[in-house]
């Protein structure tokens, strides 16, 4: 095509019309379709009621990975991530493995200086007696939320490298800023943080094989799918696969993941802060998880008139 060719006036008008239509009418049509969906309206009202009645600050980000339907409440609010931040450490570990900077099967001895309390088992084992692969440390970090394994992996991959990786994927408010169990850092406000929208975006990329590579994304998902408890899990039937990571610190509870609902998989990120009591967080997240599963399950297994059609 000749870059200097002058388009006829009619073609210019058509291009302007197409741009105008895409900019103004398509979003309006999507919004109109959502407004005319009575089940979505009831779902929105249910989630808003949970959020508004909670004695806490709640953030919700949900996306249907088949249809693109989204739902957000306080999607850009910054929340402490607690152990949910470990998903992003896992991603940087696999990025460095793919680039050849480290080897996942490399055996690494656990130094006594990295042992910390909280969740996990490594802090209870003997000094200088533990040696395992980086992959095994990663599995302990995700499945048992082992804080000692996490701190070893942070030292291996580098805190700033995790944040650089997040920024490269468009997550500018999600940051790893301290090691696990560093209460002094937390006291001065150096917290591990993120927003529901950004974490939802990272999890969607993970689902689509766009974090590092398809093979690396699949292996990370297989680790996140390993059986563990959690508030999201409590709202989803045991037969439905869930790849998630829960997090808990004082006044904060998060659970973020991918729900593999047949025909309608979705990402769900629920974050809470300023909780009045520790028991409130799990109850809020479970209730939102259950309502979200019921909504997408009915839409996936009903025809347009509302009759259930289950294969």
- Tell me, what CATH number does 168's domain have? 3.40.710.10
Sign of the four-CA dihedral 255, 260, 262, 264: positive
DSSP letter at 296 equals: H
> Is 32 contained in some domain?
no
d(C-alpha 91, C-alpha 245), whole Å: 13
Structural domain includes residue 166: yes
Task: Give per-residue pLDDT as tens, 143-175.
Answer: 999 999 999 999 999 999 999 999 999 999 999
**Total residues belonging to the chain:** 311
DSSP 175: B
- For residue 122, the enclosing domain spans 43-300
In contact, 82 and 271? CB cutoff 8 Å: no
pLDDT tens per residue, range 171-200: 999 999 999 999 999 899 999 999 999 999
What is each CA distance from 234 to 49, 61, 284, 294, in whole angstroms?
20, 18, 11, 13
Residues 6 or more apart whose CB falls under 8 angstroms from that of 10 comprise: none
For tokens 């805190």, name the residue.
Answer: 159
What pLDDT is attached to residue 1?
A: 45
Tokens in use for 166?
């997040």
List pLDDT tens digits, range 220-252. Answer: 999 999 999 899 999 999 999 999 999 999 999
Identify the pLDDT of residue 291.
Answer: 98
Whether 25 is in a domain gets the answer no
CA-based nearest residue to 131, from 151, 155, 109, 104: 109
Residue 16: what pLDDT?
59
In a domain? residue 191:
yes
Is 36 inside a domain boundary? no
pLDDT score for 5: 54
Within a domain: residue 229?
yes
**How would you classify residue 181: left for phi > 0, otherwise alpha for psi between -120 and 50, otherwise beta?**
left
Around 15, how many Cα atoms within 13 Å sit in the side-chain half-sphere?
6
The number of domains in the chain is 1
Does residue 177 lie in a domain region? yes
What pLDDT is attached to residue 33?
Answer: 47
Does some domain include residue 3?
A: no
């Amino acid at each position: 095509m000749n870059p200097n060719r002058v388009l006829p006036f009619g073609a210019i008008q058509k291009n302007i019309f197409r741009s105008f239509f895409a900019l103004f009418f398509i979003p309006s049509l999507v919004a109109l379709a959502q407004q005319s969906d009575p089940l979505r309206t009831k779902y929105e009202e249910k989630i808003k009621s949970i959020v508004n009645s909670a004695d806490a600050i709640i953030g919700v980000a949900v996306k249907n990975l088949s249809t693109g339907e989204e739902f957000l409440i306080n999607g850009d609010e910054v929340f402490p991530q607690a152990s949910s931040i470990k998903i992003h450490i896992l991603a940087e570990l696999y990025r460095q493995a793919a680039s050849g900077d480290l080897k996942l099967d490399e055996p690494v001895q656990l130094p006594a200086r990295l042992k910390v309390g909280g969740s996990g088992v490594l802090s209870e084992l003997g000094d200088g007696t533990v040696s395992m692969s980086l992959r095994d440390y990663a599995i302990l970090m995700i499945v048992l939320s082992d804080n000692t394994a996490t701190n070893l992996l942070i030292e291996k991959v580098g805190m700033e490298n995790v944040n650089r990786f997040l920024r490269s994927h468009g997550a500018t408010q999600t940051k790893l800023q301290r090691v696990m169990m560093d209460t002094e850092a937390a006291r001065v406000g150096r917290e591990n943080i993120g927003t529901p929208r950004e974490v939802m975006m990272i999890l969607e990329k993970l689902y689509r094989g766009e974090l590092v590579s398809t093979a690396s994304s699949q292996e990370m998902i297989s680790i996140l799918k390993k059986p563990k408890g959690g508030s999201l899990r409590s709202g989803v039937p045991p037969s439905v696969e869930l790849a998630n990571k829960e997090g808990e610190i004082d006044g904060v509870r998060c659970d973020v993941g991918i729900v593999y609902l047949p025909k309608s998989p979705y990402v769900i990120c629920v974050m809470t802060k300023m909780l009045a009591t520790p028991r409130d967080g799990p109850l809020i997240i479970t209730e939102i998880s259950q309502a979200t599963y019921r909504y997408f399950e009915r839409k996936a297994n009903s025809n347009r008139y509302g009759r259930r059609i289950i294969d």
